[in-house]
Copies of this chain bind each other. A is one copy, B any other.
Amino acid sequence: MSNLSHFVCTLCGQKFEPARPQTVCPRDGGLLLARYNFELIRELKPESLAERSKTIWRYAELLPAPASPVTLGEGFTPLLASQSTPGLWIKNEGANPTGSFEDRGSSVAVSALRNSGVQQVAVASAGDSATSLSAYCAAACLKSFVFMPKDAVLANRASCAAYGAELTLVDGAVEECEQAIREAIALQDCFGIADGREPYRLEGEKTLGFELVEQLGWRIPDAIIVPTGSGSLVVAIWKALQELEALAWIGPKRPRVVAVQAAGCAPIVRAFAEEEADCEPWANPQTIASELRIESPRAGSLALKILRESRGLAVAVTDREMLVACSQLAGREGIFAAPEGGAALAAYTKLRATGLLRESDEVVIVNTRSGLKSPEAFGNSRKPLPKSHSLGGIIQPY
């Protein structure tokens, strides 16, 4: 039995029944959010979780479709105390089954869609979410049609193809992929998934918020730094905290939520600085952080509201700053993060330097994806060979 009560449109407030696959509000295209009957779960206590599976499904009461989920072991990723910076924590989402936080959303979405009898799924994405969804569709025996930019990283192209997705590489960015998906949905009987076009993935993503609070012993950190493309992860983490408070597992304290974007594609940062309620599309987005190359963040206005409500910030960092921070994450912490994770550390370093975050603040940075996803980003790094290792002619520098 699901505790899901209904979905609600974030624009007009209209309610929708939970029984069938939902997309967006038919009236205004607004993003839908799931609402639960907390009365039904009053008896659930944090202690009840201790012996449960270390996946997102330990929070089954707070997810849609808890019966027979499609799971690959997603979630409950390591929250690691920094070895070099007291008070800093790193949530390493690279440990998820396909190497990114997207697996949380995919597990919930594919479970819900399969339960509803959906047999074909079409997805447009910068790379990670399509890869993740195609893995879960494979495990659920659903057919997947994937649209990603033709310059998507090899790891995503190769694994999508292996998962059996009908993979189409589009000459453009994620927005062109979304155009292509609309045509595909018109041609096939597919359920279409793209950022902000359905409410299920966000439910999975919110488990990241549950986890980091649970892993901190139900303590609320002072700030959370989130690499932000569409803005959905900011919304998801915030929703998680609201739900934990509704369960009285935490009090009213909230972390400052910091969105970090790439200097070459920072629509949320710009709108935040200009005190706009929503984002303008970013012209000619350019960054090595492929998952941050989203010119029109679908959850931008919701994310902006949360950043302000939490007295948070939106910070842009350059590709160079990301790579330097990736080096620090790898060299000091032993975590090989993708540039997106580097962006989070770079933002932390900036905010500490400017005094916007203090040494005494407890801060969580999210590494949203494994560096193994895009070793190409580091491909030009080249270290000189130390003299002591000139062992004859057989040795070549990296």
Selected from B334, B383, B394, the residue in CB contact (under 8 A) with A138 is: B334
Contact B98 A96 (CB under 8 A): no
**A50 CB–B CB distance under 8 Å:** yes
**A80 CB–B CB distance under 8 Å:** yes
Shortest CB–CB separation between residue A88 and chain B, in angstroms?
14
Residues of B within 8 A of A80 (CB): 72-73
Contact B330 A391 (CB under 8 A): no
Selected from B158, B330, B398, the residue in CB contact (under 8 A) with A164 is: B330
Smallest CB gap from A375: residue in B:
B158
Q: How many residues of A contact B (CB 8 A)?
A: 79
**A332 CB–B CB distance under 8 Å:** yes
Contact A395 B50 (CB under 8 A): no
Smallest CB gap from A50: residue in B:
B51
Residues of B within 8 A of A166 (CB): 383, 385-386, 389
Residues of B within 8 A of A331 (CB): 138, 162-164
**A159 CB–B CB distance under 8 Å:** yes
**A169 CB–B CB distance under 8 Å:** yes
Instruction: Tell me the complex Cα distance, A143–B383, Å.
Output: 15
Selected from B138, B176, B333, B378, the residue in CB contact (under 8 A) with A330 is: B138
Instruction: Tell me the complex Cα distance, A50–B52, Å.
Output: 9
The 3 closest A-B pairs by CB, nearest first: A73-B78, A139-B334, A162-B330
